[in-house]
Amino acid sequence: MSGHADLRAELVDTIAELVHPGDRDLLERVLVDSLAALVPGAGVALVRFEHGGEAWTSEVLHRAGGFSCTKPCTGCPDPGGLFATEPDVQVNVFSPMPRPGGCSLVVEIPFRHQLGRSFLMLSGRPMTDADERVVLGLSTIFKNYLDAISSAQIDGLTQLFNRKTFDERLNAIIEQRRQSATHLSDAERRHDHAGHECWLAVADIDHFKRINDTFGHVFGDEVLLLFSGIMRKCTRRSDLLFRYGGEEFAIVLTDVDAEGALATLERFRHAVETHRFPRVGQVTCSLGYTHIGGNEVPTALFGRADTALYHAKGIGRNRVCNYEALAAEGLLHGPTEDEDDVTLF
């Protein structure tokens, strides 16, 4: 009886932790760790599969319990042509044939704002019916809760974070860096932050009003959707992407030095410039960015990146400008955008 009581208590604790407010990465980690504890002897991993145009690629996002299958996309069987099918809206359980070193349970966890397809994979021992019920139950809780918080945090068109989430995440990053700076000596701070700076970039699609006026809002929305997709491909999973409003986007680059930040933003700008947008043709964007310190006021931080953006537009558009570099050269001016080309929010 004591064992059942302990299991019930552990399950309640797991559910409480799963529905605790947090970001997606934290929730995924909690799910994997909880299943490793509730299914003893099994290794658990959360794997994301994405289609790159020719083949599926995979990335193990989290693992626990000694998960042993390190290359799920090639080392695991494809149960029933799984990756050739369209994702369902519900949690699905697949039971591949157990084999040494392989997976004995594969669970797809789709949700409304999923990019690619995510799967829980369990290895190490055969799964019982009770095991499957535990995995399916927690996976369903995870999916439903993630859907609920995503609807409040995600822009409906682009599937990027929305303006409200931008304010929350930026404040959290600033506070985290402030606390880090408070507890470190100057030497430790320089060592800790070397190559691990954060940067805020603001990106704006050039002449977007003209696109809407010429081709209509349907094609304008398609440009926004494709633009956000290019942004995802040119950044890392650890970076934060936002639709700030209209045709204006924000990017928070994390754990990267000044050279890496510029390289990322230039890569994105070039990818947009060389992409052929249906019906519209060539589209360009301008970007301004600034360094995120630990003693920032969010509005002032955004204002610096926005000032650099306006400078980029004022000197010809389709370029990346850094606020600190412009300030050092004495080149900063107020907004120079033509009034009819500004979208007010």
Residues designated catalytic: 247
The Cα–Cα gap between 139 and 119 comes to: 10
Tokens of 137: 């139950």
Q: How far is CA 149 from CA 144, 145, 225, 333, in A?
A: 9, 6, 21, 40
Give the Å distances, CA to CA, from 244 to 94, 160, 313: 39, 9, 18
The span from the CA of 342 to the CA of 333, in Å, is 17
| HSE (side-chain half, CA atoms, 13 Å) at 117 | 23
Please report, as a single letter, which amino acid is at residue 6.
Answer: D
Quick check: 241 and 113 in contact, CB under 8 A?
A: no
Report the distance separating Cα 269 and Cα 173, nearest Å: 25
